[in-house]
Chain A
Amino acid sequence: MHNIDIDLSLDGLSKIEGHGALDLKVRDSKVEYIKFMITEPRRFYTTAVEGKSCLAAPAHMSRICGTCSIAHTMCCIEAIEKALDIVPSKEAMLLKKLTMYGMMIRDHALHLYMFSLPDVLNKDSILDLDESDQKENELLHQAFEIKAAGNNLSKLVAGRAVHATHPTIGGFLKVPSAEESKAMVAELKKVRPYIFTLLDIFARWEMRLERETTFMALVTDDFSFLDGTIQNSKGHRIEEKSYADHLENVVIPYSNSTGYKFEEGNYFVGALSRLNLNKASLHNGTKRDAGKYLAMFPSKNIFHNDLAQAIEILHSIDHSIEILENTVFSLEKRQPPKMKPGRGVGVIEAPRGTLYYLVQIGEKGEIVNAEVIVPTQQNQINIENDIKAYVEQNLHLSKEMLTHRIEMIIRAYDPCMSCATHFLNINWI
């Protein structure tokens, strides 16, 4: 094959959360450079929160991101509770899990149906699905009913699907009534069968990109995205409080966000890592009914991140039904948190991967210092390396097709640019 030169510039990636761009230069059939750029202006949240009361911090940090605002709320609460030595009650933990599940259902469904599904169906947009076609019409109705179910679960438990109002330091301000729980269970049971259509679509998708990398995730014993040990595919086990000590912050001069390496190597965080490392902890109903899809994991195929997200929707529905059917919530009397100086680390699994909060609190309960590491920052280097590998293996494709495929790879990561541009801290290396 003759040597190939390509200059490619993608300004304004579509069907992702936030703003990103990409420049690629190929000379003599080798990628000379690839620049995956997060182009949103920085908003300096970790500086802005300094001096604020820790009681106000979760709602403030929630504004880092619209689509995964609940992840920021819950991770910030966890870090502050640890700093103040507050141990959440059993009921609070159940409500936290339901809050995470509502977010996962809504957020994953948004990504899978509105961003990725058009790629699978070879269409530009969900707007292009044909309502007169029975299958596509059913898919559209299923998409919006599943999204609504996640939205409604969030509203019921967390107050809102975006910038939740019920979760607070030490518990929840409102809890679902028995009647509300019953109605929510009925809605979740109605949409559950739809997930199998989605699983089938993404399991059959022929797109493939495999490359050696490290898969990393918080491994929880009930797959509730909240508490556990950070593990990776190389056998490392790390306590939540030590996570940042193992990461290297890397300046990416052309991007508005820094990236991260784990022990000098790139790594992946997200649903694919969670399935690769922890599928045994999924709900029994999910394992019973989605066995043939679970058998596809562990997988190195980045496009299986979509399938992994679909499985997580099913798990979130199954565990939510179990919790709601077996719990009578009572609005527990909460004592006002006792302020004291302290340092706390929160680590949870956000929809797009591992989210880390370090919070230091002063004597009056004010935030002295806050550090946040988000999933898209951690995946930034892995994304570039994946695209480089794909391009060098597929130089026979037309420039137009190559451009489209690169966008599909980026979408498979489900990146969140708003999250990645929240902060100040840079460690120049």
Chain B
Amino acid sequence: MSKLKIGWFSFSCCEDSTIVFTELMNTHFFEWKKKIDFRHTKILKSNNVLEGLDVAFIEGAIATEKDEGEVKRIRAAARFVVAIGSCAVNGGPSAQRNKFDKSKQEKISSQIMQFGLNDRVKCLSEVIGVDSEVDGCPMSEDAFLTVLDKYFTIFGVNNA
């Protein structure tokens, strides 16, 4: 049976959706092992490959130039990209500093420079093309399973 080749990535966030992903394994692990080729999932393994992904699931917002470059490499390696959780979908709490008033902006300005952070935190679609979104803080379990099932169908995994 052909498997869905996935990657799971995270950027600036609390990784709550990654934790939900690992908790969904409590009921889906044995099914997913049959259906999914976990090609790049650092939360689960050390030997990861960033090429030939059917779907890249990306959690978190983009806060540095380095991360912009990294997420573009992921986009280039994947046929579809799914934004996972509020920070990826709309910037979420990770982008809260975008709305800081002047005094708070001044308070953090030296660290923005010191740590090479971008002036603005961006949601995923501001940096790369996004094919699907799973919103929520953390992501909705049902919405994620629906999106995953969609890609199982697109890649013929459900029917194999």
Which residues of A line the B interface, CB within 8 A? Answer: 12, 14-15, 17-19, 40-45, 47-48, 50, 60, 63-67, 69, 106, 110, 114, 124-127, 131, 140, 144-145, 147-148, 151, 161-163, 256, 407, 418, 424, 426
CB distance from B103 to the nearest CB of A (A): 9
B1 within 8 Å of A (CB atoms): no
Interchain CB contact under 8 A, B44 and A114 = yes
B13 within 8 Å of A (CB atoms): yes
Chain A residues contacting B108 (CB-CB under 8 Å) are 44, 47, 424
Chain B residues contacting A19 (CB-CB under 8 Å) are 10
List 17 extra interface pairs beyond A14-B45, A67-B15, A114-B43, CB under 8 A.
A14-B43, A14-B48, A15-B43, A15-B45, A15-B46, A43-B93, A47-B97, A66-B14, A66-B19, A127-B33, A127-B44, A127-B45, A145-B26, A147-B22, A147-B25, A147-B26, A424-B111
Q: Which of B48, B104, B115 contacts A50 (CB 8 A)?
A: B104
CB distance from A146 to the nearest CB of B (A): 9
CB distance from B64 to the nearest CB of A (A): 6
Chain B residues contacting A125 (CB-CB under 8 Å) are 38, 44-47
Identify the closest chain B residue to A128 (Cβ). B45
B63 within 8 Å of A (CB atoms): yes
CB distance from A45 to the nearest CB of B (A): 8
29 pairs, CB–CB < 8 Å, chain A vs chain B: A14-B42, A14-B43, A14-B45, A15-B42, A18-B15, A43-B96, A47-B107, A48-B104, A66-B20, A67-B15, A106-B23, A114-B43, A114-B44, A127-B33, A127-B45, A131-B30, A131-B33, A144-B26, A144-B27, A147-B22, A147-B26, A161-B23, A162-B16, A162-B20, A163-B16, A163-B138, A407-B46, A418-B15, A424-B108
- How far apart sit A40 and B18, CA to CA, in the bound complex (Å)? 15
Q: Which of B19, B43, B94, B117 contacts A162 (CB 8 A)?
A: B19
Interchain CB contact under 8 A, B44 and A424 = no
Interchain CB contact under 8 A, B42 and A66 = no
Chain B residues contacting A124 (CB-CB under 8 Å) are 45-47
Interchain CB contact under 8 A, A63 and B137 = yes
Identify the closest chain A residue to B118 (Cβ). A41
Q: Which of A47, A60, A66 contacts B15 (CB 8 A)?
A: A66
Interchain CB contact under 8 A, A144 and B96 = no
Interchain CB contact under 8 A, B107 and A424 = yes
Interchain CB contact under 8 A, B138 and A162 = yes
CB distance from A404 to the nearest CB of B (A): 8
Identify the closest chain A residue to B43 (Cβ). A15
- How far apart sit A17 and B18, CA to CA, in the bound complex (Å)? 9
CB distance from B32 to the nearest CB of A (A): 9
Interchain CB contact under 8 A, B26 and A148 = yes
- How far apart sit A163 and B13, CA to CA, in the bound complex (Å)? 13
Identify the closest chain B residue to A161 (Cβ). B23
- Identify the 4 closest CB pairs spanning chains A and B, nearest first: A66-B16, A125-B45, A41-B63, A148-B26
Q: Which of B26, B63, B94 contacts A151 (CB 8 A)?
A: B26
Interchain CB contact under 8 A, A15 and B44 = yes
B17 within 8 Å of A (CB atoms): yes
Identify the closest chain B residue to A12 (Cβ). B42
Chain A residues contacting B13 (CB-CB under 8 Å) are 66, 418
Chain B residues contacting A147 (CB-CB under 8 Å) are 22-23, 25-26
Which residues of B line the A interface, CB within 8 A? Answer: 10, 12-20, 22-23, 25-27, 29-30, 33, 38, 42-48, 63-64, 67, 92-94, 96-97, 100, 104, 107-108, 111, 115, 117, 137-138
Identify the closest chain B residue to A417 (Cβ). B15
Chain B residues contacting A418 (CB-CB under 8 Å) are 13-15
- How far apart sit A44 and B99, CA to CA, in the bound complex (Å)? 12
CB distance from A66 to the nearest CB of B (A): 3
Identify the closest chain A residue to B42 (Cβ). A14
Chain A residues contacting B26 (CB-CB under 8 Å) are 144-145, 147-148, 151
- How far apart sit A43 and B95, CA to CA, in the bound complex (Å)? 8
- How far apart sit A428 and B74, CA to CA, in the bound complex (Å)? 37
- How far apart sit A134 and B79, CA to CA, in the bound complex (Å)? 38
Identify the closest chain A residue to B112 (Cβ). A42
CB distance from B28 to the nearest CB of A (A): 9
- How far apart sit A60 and B63, CA to CA, in the bound complex (Å)? 20
Interchain CB contact under 8 A, A41 and B15 = no
- How far apart sit A145 and B30, CA to CA, in the bound complex (Å)? 13
Pick from A14, A18, A63, A106 the residue with the most CB of B within 10 Å: A63
Chain B residues contacting A41 (CB-CB under 8 Å) are 12, 63-64, 67, 115, 117
CB distance from B123 to the nearest CB of A (A): 14
- How far apart sit A15 and B43, CA to CA, in the bound complex (Å)? 5
Identify the closest chain A residue to B117 (Cβ). A41
Identify the closest chain A residue to B25 (Cβ). A144
Chain A residues contacting B10 (CB-CB under 8 Å) are 18-19
Identify the closest chain A residue to B95 (Cβ). A43
CB distance from A381 to the nearest CB of B (A): 19
CB distance from A69 to the nearest CB of B (A): 7
Interchain CB contact under 8 A, B115 and A42 = yes
Interchain CB contact under 8 A, B115 and A148 = no
Chain B residues contacting A60 (CB-CB under 8 Å) are 93
Identify the closest chain A residue to B139 (Cβ). A162
- How far apart sit A124 and B113, CA to CA, in the bound complex (Å)? 38
- How far apart sit A395 and B88, CA to CA, in the bound complex (Å)? 43
- How far apart sit A418 and B94, CA to CA, in the bound complex (Å)? 11
Pick from B13, B14, B22 the residue with the most CB of A within 10 Å: B14
